[in-house]
Amino acid sequence: MGFSSRLEGYTGRVREVLESAGVDVGDEIEITIGEHEKIKGVLMSRYELADPEYIVVKLPNGYNIGVRFRENIQVRKLLEEVKKPAFRPPEKARPIPGLPRVTIVGTGGTIASRIDYRTGAVRPVLTAEDLLSIIPELASIANLDASILFSIFSEDMTPNEWSMMATRVDEYIRRGVDGVVIAHGTDTMGYSAAALSFALQKPPIPIVFVGAQRSSDRPSSDSATNLIAAVKVAGYAPFAEVCVAMHDNHSDEVIAIHRGTRVRKNHTSSRDAFKSINTEPIAFYKNGEIYVNRKDLNNRGSNQYIFNPKFSDKAVLLKFFPGMSHEILEDIWMKGYRGIIIEGSGLGHVARRLIPTLEKILKDGVFIGMTSQCMYGRVNMRVYSTGRDLLKIGVTPLDDMLPETAYVKLSWVLAQTTEIEEIKNLMLTPLAGEIGERSIP
Amino acid sequence: MGFSSRLEGYTGRVREVLESAGVDVGDEIEITIGEHEKIKGVLMSRYELADPEYIVVKLPNGYNIGVRFRENIQVRKLLEEVKKPAFRPPEKARPIPGLPRVTIVGTGGTIASRIDYRTGAVRPVLTAEDLLSIIPELASIANLDASILFSIFSEDMTPNEWSMMATRVDEYIRRGVDGVVIAHGTDTMGYSAAALSFALQKPPIPIVFVGAQRSSDRPSSDSATNLIAAVKVAGYAPFAEVCVAMHDNHSDEVIAIHRGTRVRKNHTSSRDAFKSINTEPIAFYKNGEIYVNRKDLNNRGSNQYIFNPKFSDKAVLLKFFPGMSHEILEDIWMKGYRGIIIEGSGLGHVARRLIPTLEKILKDGVFIGMTSQCMYGRVNMRVYSTGRDLLKIGVTPLDDMLPETAYVKLSWVLAQTTEIEEIKNLMLTPLAGEIGERSIP
């Protein structure tokens, strides 16, 4: 994760003190300030952008602190042997008869990784044995199998990774597992969950995305509770939906299970960042139990499964803003994109000055769908004349679909057909609970 | 609003029935279906996209219904004289000594308009006399003055309209009014409120944006209550902030007063669509009283007022999405934009494949600022290596600033200076409460 394993980030007086103490990044050290203050912890790499006058130390509670350099500072290396964290060697898990078979697919992100205290580096931990050594409870919930599909930051996911994930999950479905858990970075987990909702429609088993907002070396980590809930849902839920399992609130007690097409990361850092938008979660997990929250779900064992993992990269998501120029639309059109999801204002509007450009693009056979940057509620383009004029030129109103989900769906639809009427028709047909629910008032 | 004043929207059998009854759009009519069912109301224009088999009638309660054509339908014109809505001629208001002077500036939108029952057309109603005839309570709150600056849909606002609004408000400030209310369409009211927050810093009087989610001819309209609260805040609030007055919840009782740089339209249609993000409203209005909610506000009578109404149109707001290509960034750069606000993922990320393009653009002296599409929380680009790499090439992290506010602020900053370090510095300096508050956990 960009950390150096040497002192190279440190410079000047700070570097001198560390070198003369004979310590290196990853060592347990004790810093003495003046006569009384002592700080113990692991010396961390200095970020390139941190103040050069600070020494970064990871405390035993998992938090990093920066100790400012002062003349009266002393650094001492502690004995490694004494301080090495106890880490029992993982045992090979034996299948327990009667438990469901759940497969965990690692794709990257905070949940599928563990920070190495000694270097600050993050390493993947997704063998079943690793997981069981960290979260022993999992062994009593399911017979686990785990593998790493890839290990990338979720901001680097593209439609190509969505296809790879869907294809891998389909393999496990055909092997007869009882549920699949996908460990995923949280940044774009909502997009990926929507993608698999369209690629794996009405699957016979639950497909549960899970992430963590805090890494597992922090006391406030949500890794374990989220993962336990995800495995439970994958193995036992009566519904077979593509969904996301994340903290419902600030406590560790309740995990919300969100529909893959209805969920959004709505906070940069809090543990309950994921929210169902315009609907309720499909279920909750609490104290080992799954509480199903609605009736219109695809049942486990469904025989209507449709697998179609193709995605196009010819779709664009574009947010309207007051000074938006028609040039931005023209450029997208010129680049050969075949569909545009607009995050319009209010009930589904853009500036009237953009209408002639939109009309030209639509006449060229490009799909343009309208969602709202309000996020909550649904577009209604019959109320004001701007909306009516946009309808008249052929903009498709996408009801209460999330803009992000609309973009993912369009990426999927464009890989199924090049026929504009069929594209419109598919975009307006609910395929995975993505459209047409009653909005929360 | 795009309505025709004639029958031209109606076709076929429906048109024949209407013509043979001698009725026109705007007439009071009675439709008899079979022997028993009667519907009375005003004949409305048919939307271009409505089903051609329906007759659209506005009922006395303000709602439109569509009456489906059937063979046993009869249409009759009612006498106009009898049905004309009683509308008392507005009286010229006389100033009441001791009341504050509040000026209402009309810019368009639902609140500054009234649907003409007879034609369906929307007409502006922003003389003080019109307003007092609709909301007589206002006369006892303030000595009102009202004028129409322009009358456009808020989706058509641009940085140019922001300048015009700011300049008009400054004129009223110099004339010594006690408060200004700006009636504005809700779609982009958040953007405009942010704009005036930067153009009119630390003003001596409150500047209160107000809108309506439901037009004043509907029983559920929020026009009157929002406007009363706005006038009250403009005339009496101890703080002098650019703010937005809108329903706080579904009841008519509480109006939230949001800071102009912190507010967002978060629902397409509900009356409590406007929310303060990452902070609390600065005040509430209830039962005629203003309840101030925080202490760090600019005081009425402030002598630190800075007026600067210039905005650049060389800023862009761009939302990151998983399939985003570097080409979109290149095109924006080629078009000569001087600043880009990115709505990144999570703590402030984009795909790593975009970094070389961003670096090239930054080296050319274009400002790139990072916000989060999570909406809640703050960016923190030191946690993951993607963020650190973006910092290293010179992307500026904008803390907890709303993406929309960041875009507006950048439009303002780019009109103040062309010096990149000064642009960065201004973007990171809190000017109007737009940055650096503790986020709601």
Spatial separation of the C-alpha atoms in residues A215 and A439, rounded to whole Å: 34
pLDDT band at B111; cut points 50, 70, 90 = confident
**Highest mean predicted confidence (pLDDT) among A122-136, B84-98, B219-233, B419-433:** B419-433
Identify the pLDDT of residue A232.
97
Cross-chain residue pair B345–A411, CB shorter than 8 Å: no
Using the predicted structure, report yes or no on whether residue A6 has a pLDDT greater than 80. Answer: no
Tell me if B319 and A321 make a contact (CB, 8 A cut-off): no
B191 Cβ under 8 Å from any chain A Cβ: yes
- Asked if B428 reaches chain A (Cβ–Cβ under 8 Å), the answer is no
Higher pLDDT, B36 or A61: B36
Contacts of B343 in chain A (CB under 8 A): 319
CATH topology agreement for domains B101-307 and B315-428: yes
Chain B hits for A158, CB-CB cut-off 8 Å, are: 322-323, 351
- The two most distant CA atoms of chain B are separated, in Å, by 79
CA-nearest of B299, B384, B292 to B347 is B384
Q: Quick one: pLDDT band at residue B73, thresholds 50, 70, 90? A: confident
Read off the pLDDT of residues A77-116 as tens digits, 9 standing for 90 and up. Answer: 886 544 444 444 445 567 888 999 999 999 987 776 665 5
Our answer to whether residue B186 is catalytic in this structure is yes
In three state form, how does the secondary structure of A416-441 look?
CCCCHHHHHHHHHCCCCCCCCCCCCC
Cβ pairs bridging A and B (under 8 Å): 211
pLDDT of A403 over the 50 cut: yes
A396: pLDDT confidence band, cut at 50, 70 and 90?
very high
What does the alpha-carbon distance between residue A323 and residue B194 come to, in Å, rounded to a whole number?
14
- Which residues of A are identified as catalytic? 110, 186-187, 265
Interface test mutation site (partner B, options A49, A123, A152, A155, max chain B beta carbons within 10 A): A155
Chain A residues touching residue B389 (CB < 8 angstroms) = 2
CA distance to partner chain B, nearest, from residue A74 (Å) = 27
Query: For residue A19, is pLDDT > 90?
Result: no
The domain ranges of chain B are 7-83, 101-307, 315-428
Q: How confident is the model at residue B3 (pLDDT cuts 50, 70, 90)?
A: very low
The region that residue A225 occupies, defined by phi over 0 for left and psi between -120 and 50 for alpha, beta otherwise, is alpha
Cβ-contact B320, B312 below 8 angstroms: no
Top-ranked range on mean pLDDT: pick from B117-121, B231-235, B383-387: B231-235
Quick one: pLDDT band at residue B134, thresholds 50, 70, 90? confident
pLDDT digits (tens, 9 = 90+) for B144-169: 998 889 888 899 999 999 999 999 99
Asked whether the beta carbons of residue A321 and residue B404 sit closer than 8 angstroms, the reply is yes
CA triplet A213, A219, A224: central angle to 5 degrees?
60
pLDDT at residue A39, as a whole number: 85
Report whether A413 contacts A428 (CB < 8 A): no
* Chain B residues whose beta carbon lies within 8 Å of the beta carbon of residue A315: 323
Contact at CB, B377 and A269, closer than 8 angstroms? yes
Shortest Cα distance from B85 to chain A (angstroms)? 24
Go through chain A and tell me how many residues it has: 441
- Give the helix ranges, DSSP H, for B240-384: 326-334, 355-363
Query: Averaged over A34-49, what is the pLDDT?
Result: 76
Q: To 5 degrees, how large is the angle CA B90–CA B92–CA B98?
A: 125
What lies within 8 Å, CB to CB, of B251 at 6+ separation is none
Residue A61 CB: number of other CB atoms within 10 A?
9
Residues 152-181 of B with CB under 8 A from A: 153-159, 162
Which residue from B250, B375, B384 is facing A266, i.e. has the nearest CB? B375
Mean of pLDDT over chain B: 88
Any idea what DSSP says for residue A110? G
Residue B123 contacts A where some CB pair is shorter than 8 Å: no
Clarify whether B107 is annotated catalytic.
no
Q: Which H/E stretch holds residue B427?
A: helix B420-428
Neighbours of A257 (CB within 10 A): 29
B292 touches chain A (CB under 8 A): no
Q: What is A315-428's CATH number?
A: 3.40.50.40
The pLDDT of residue B164: 97
For residue A324, give how far its alpha carbon lies from the nearest alpha carbon of chain B (Å): 7
Nearest CA in chain A to B318: A319
- B407 lies within 8 A of chain A by CB: yes
Q: Nearest Cβ partner of B155 from A317, A374, A386? A: A386
ipTM: 0.81
Cβ-based neighbours of B395, under 8 Å, separated by 6 or more: B342, B358, B362, B368, B369, B370, B381
What's the predicted TM-score (pTM) here? 0.81
Q: For chain B, what is the radius of gyration of the CA atoms? A: 25
A330: nearest CA in chain B? B331
CATH architecture of A7-83: Roll (2.30)
Q: Does A330 touch chain B (CB under 8 A)?
A: no
pLDDT band at A379, cuts 50/70/90? very high
The whole-chain average pLDDT of chain A stands at: 88
Residue B140 has pLDDT above 60, yes or no: yes
Q: What is the pLDDT of residues A175-218, one digit of tens each?
A: 999 999 999 999 999 999 999 999 999 999 999 999 988 776 66
Q: Cα separation of B309 and B412, whole Å? A: 8
Of B313, B319, B345, the CB nearest to A155: B345
Reported as a single tens digit per residue, the pLDDT across B247-257 is 999 888 899 99
Residue with the larger pLDDT of the pair B97 and B220: B97
Chain A, nearest residue to B407 by Cα: A321
- Residues B76-90 have a mean pLDDT of 56
Rounded Cα distance between B45 and A420, Å, is: 31
> Which residues in chain A are closer than 8 Å to B412, comparing Cβ atoms?
none
Q: Smallest CA–CA separation between B101 and chain A, in Å? A: 31
In the predicted model, is pLDDT for residue A61 greater than 90? no
The C-alpha atoms of residue B198 and residue B310 are separated, in whole angstroms, by 10
Beta strands in A242-314 (DSSP E): 242-247, 254-259, 263-265, 274-276, 283-286, 289-292, 306-307
Searching chain B, which residue's CA lies closest to the CA of residue A407? B321
**pLDDT for position A291:** 97
DSSP, collapsed to helix, strand or coil, labels residue A169 as helix
Percent of chain A topping pLDDT 70: 87
**Which A residues in the span 72-101 are in contact with B, Cβ-Cβ below 8 Å?**
none
- Model confidence at B360, pLDDT cuts 50, 70, 90, reads very high
The domain defined by A101-307 carries CATH number 3.40.640.10: no
The answer to whether A51 faces chain B, any CB pair under 8 Å, is no
Contacts of A334 (CB under 8 A, 6+ apart): none
